[in-house]
Amino acid sequence: MKKTLVYALAFPALIAAISVASCHRKAEPAPMTVTNPLPMKFGDPFLLHASDGKYYMYGTSLDDGFEAYVSENLSEWTPCGQIYKGADSASWNVSEFWAPEVYERDGKYYMFFSATAKEQCTNDNENFQIGVAVADSPAGPFKDMHTGPLFKSPYPVIDANVLFDEPSGKTYLYFSRCCSGHPVESEVSEWARQKQLFDSIEESWIYGVELAPDFSGIIGEPQLLLAPPTSMDDKQAEWESLSVTTGEANRRWTEGSFIFRRDSTYYIVYSANAYYGPHYAVGYATSKSPMGPFEKYAGNPVLKRKDNVTCTGHNMVIEMPSGELYTVYHARMADNPSERVVMIDRILIDSTGTLSVAGPTTTPQPLP
């Protein structure tokens, strides 16, 4: 048989073999993505990347403590159940459990949170204080370190946040003084009276103080770091006063702070306006010191309502293993505004140090 005939007979068989091999070739796995909102339904979220390699999400949801969720990839989540229980005979607290943040230190996990104290500490009907609980696992169970709050504040305080400052070796605590019982005179409050909207305007402010490294208490007196603008022509006045100027509430909030250091700059993100309304949004300020003075970014807010996502706020910032920064925050969907949901989006800091948020998003994004 001629060689040409052999080639002619073999060629179709070769094509068939290649086709069969192609059919059985293992398909490339689709890239994993994460899509907002995440499955948990709570406010004030905090994300921890623990030493076991897993991610743990904490938030405000239960009447007598906190629950958590765990994930290996940020896309698929499993509930851990209730990880801290208060409001019993042995607890220093009775209700209003808010804003847990968990930090891993020397093989232990410490949860900072706010709750209503049994003992009256403030001169106001709101008696929120800050507590700290400890566990051997990020999934709990967490137990109170002390028989009372971390320190007794004469005014109601919430939204605890902790910075372990490497340059100084010190630890700092940040928190928000609540609006209740705190009327403040300003050009905005005078404007509200002239417009017959509100007789007075209450404000929440953000404070910072050094924290004892063993979390036994605070060192020194808390210092005021951030507050709403006092004059109407302040660059921040328009967006930070929307709850007042739209007639939504007689309060101006500065709350939900989170501080982190990038290069030699300290960034503190915070939320303003009513936490339950569409104007809730996030801004940031910077300083060269963990205790300020802080200068607010002229382009605030950097995270606000968009499309069907509204009420974006109380965010935190996490550095992923890749070195990328992400923010986790709660929001409400326009078609279901009564329910808070959790979102995650990327944070960018450009060569000038300007921070921006690539969100809110509701389409699939690659896993960080």
Q: What is the pLDDT of residues 182-192, one digit of tens each?
A: 999 999 999 99
244 sits in which H/E element: helix 242-245
Average pLDDT in the 321-331 region?
A: 97
User: Residues 6 or more apart from 127 whose CB is under 8 A from it?
Assistant: 116, 117, 120, 121, 156
**Cα–Cα distance between 176 and 253 in angstroms, integer?**
9
Other beta carbons within 10 angstroms of residue 180's beta carbon come to 17
230 neighbors 188 (Cβ within 8 angstroms):
yes
- pLDDT above 80: residue 25: no
pLDDT given for residue 30 in this prediction: 53
- pLDDT above 90: residue 1: no
Rounded percentage of the chain residues whose pLDDT exceeds 90:
90
**Cα–Cα distance between 326 and 38 in angstroms, integer?**
14
For residue 328, which of 339, 336, 317 has the smallest C-alpha distance?
Answer: 317
- pLDDT above 90: residue 280: yes
Confidence of residue 32 (pLDDT cuts 50, 70, 90): confident
Task: Tell me the Ramachandran region of residue 63: left when phi exceeds 0, alpha when psi lies from -120 to 50, beta otherwise.
Answer: alpha
DSSP state of 51: T
pLDDT given for residue 9 in this prediction: 44
**Cα–Cα distance between 134 and 189 in angstroms, integer?**
42
**Cα–Cα distance between 266 and 288 in angstroms, integer?**
6
- pLDDT above 60: residue 15: no
118 neighbors 64 (Cβ within 8 angstroms):
no
Q: What predicted TM-score, i.e. pTM, was given to this entire model?
A: 0.91
Other beta carbons within 10 angstroms of residue 107's beta carbon come to 7
AA identity, residue 259: I
- pLDDT above 60: residue 226: yes
- pLDDT above 70: residue 288: yes
